[in-house]
Amino acid sequence: MRRLFTVLTILSAFFLFPSATNAVTIAPVRQAAVIDPGSLRTVEVRVTNDENETRVFVPEVEAFTIDERTGRALFGADDDAVSWIEANPASLTLAPGREGAFSFTIVVPVDAEPRSHYLGLFVTEKPKEGQVAVGSRAGSLLFLHVAGPVYEDLSVEAFSVLKKWNIGEAPRLFLRLENNGTIHLIPRGEIIVSIVGGKEIVRFPINADERKVLPGGVWEETFTLDEGMFGNAFGPVRADIEITFGISEKTIGDSILLWYFPRWAMSLFAALLFGVMVVFVAIVLMMRRRRTRIKNQES
């Protein structure tokens, strides 16, 4: 359990999350909690009023997911864990430069399944009476894991090429991964591209920016093979993926086959084909002339 808590705390540090606005500063900016089903835990978010006048702040809780392309948090996600949390007090009135705190009590149901939940504990400035606009808001990341067996599973949902035959154009590879486990993952690996039976062309790092994949979430990216990568090579091309993920460093892989012919190779092929056709026509004409001479001599 201690190892899991340490890993979750380290991983949560990679999430992009707001911690301050012009009106309010909050601390800590991120927290991790491992709670048994049927148990409760209280976490605190400290608030400092950075304005020059008294402000009223209220607490809010929202779940979020991770954008599969950018790795940024998308709030407003549907998660039952939001209903597990009660914030106190209902509001805080702080004079300029003064600090207060909200307590967020998490009560995990007895029948909650072991898995991770991603929540934002927000502190929002309450609009003044008569105002409609929403005030400043700052949030603290809560990485909540319901204790139990951790299940790590990542699958290759798609590894494909836009076109099997690429003549005079750069091949494009598409990779899509899905997290089927109960905890977020950071996949790492390589795409290795090589000519079948020949030399290696290029290696692409997978997830170099270390984007997180939440449970049930996906990760996807398109890789373009520029013509300059191939040099003088052409023909059948093999692309292999090797991916490592999770605390236990599990590995998965896949491969696809495509064909690549650069413009110069097609020009050379066309010239050779034309040459072969010229030779063939010349041979046919010579054979016809020879038959004609033979017939004339016999007659």
Contacts of 80 (CB under 8 A, 6+ apart): none
Q: Does a structural domain hold residue 207?
A: yes
pLDDT digits (tens, 9 = 90+) for 154-211: 999 999 999 898 887 889 999 999 999 988 899 999 999 999 887 899 999 999 999 9
Both 126 and 222 in one domain: the answer is no
Q: Does a structural domain hold residue 298?
A: no
Task: Give counts: helices (H), strands (E), the chain.
Answer: 2, 18
Both 8 and 135 in one domain: the answer is yes
Both 83 and 181 in one domain: the answer is no
Q: How far is CA 67 from CA 9, 72, 182, 218, 292, in A?
A: 21, 5, 18, 9, 78
Cα separation of the two ends of the chain: 105
Q: Measured between alpha carbons, how far is 42 from 40 in angstroms, rounded to an integer?
A: 7
Both 23 and 46 in one domain: the answer is yes
Q: How many domains does the chain have?
A: 3
Helix (H, G, I), strand (E, B) or coil at 282: helix
Q: Does a structural domain hold residue 254?
A: yes
Both 251 and 169 in one domain: the answer is yes
Residue 181: its pLDDT value, please?
92
Q: Does a structural domain hold residue 249?
A: yes
Helix (H, G, I), strand (E, B) or coil at 211: coil
Q: Does a structural domain hold residue 45?
A: yes
Q: Measured between alpha carbons, how far is 147 from 137 in angstroms, rounded to an integer?
A: 31
**Domain with 193 in it:** 154-261
Closest CA to 41 of 2, 10, 74, 86: 86
Tell me which DSSP letter residue 230 carries: T
Tell me which DSSP letter residue 37 carries: T
Both 131 and 63 in one domain: the answer is yes
Helix (H, G, I), strand (E, B) or coil at 88: strand
Both 142 and 39 in one domain: the answer is yes
Find the CATH number of the domain harbouring 172. 2.60.40.10
Both 135 and 168 in one domain: the answer is no
Both 218 and 285 in one domain: the answer is no
Q: Does a structural domain hold residue 278?
A: yes
Residues in the chain: 299
Both 116 and 135 in one domain: the answer is yes
Structure-token match 């380290």, residue found: 10
Both 209 and 120 in one domain: the answer is no
Q: What is the 3-state secondary structure (H, E, C) of 121-136?
A: EEEEECCCCCCCCCCC
Contacts of 256 (CB under 8 A, 6+ apart): 159, 160, 161, 173, 238, 239
Q: Does a structural domain hold residue 73?
A: yes
* The last residue of a domain, from among 146, 181, 214: 146
* The last residue of a domain, from among 87, 120, 146: 146
Return the number of other C-beta atoms located less than 10 Å from residue 120's C-beta: 23
Both 171 and 194 in one domain: the answer is yes
Q: Does a structural domain hold residue 214?
A: yes
Q: In one letter, which amino acid is 100?
A: G
Contacts of 248 (CB under 8 A, 6+ apart): 152
Q: Which residues of the chain have pLDDT under 50?
A: 1-20
Tokens of 141: 């990341």
Spatial contact of 93 and 108, defined as CB atoms under 8 Å apart: no
Residue 284: its pLDDT value, please?
74
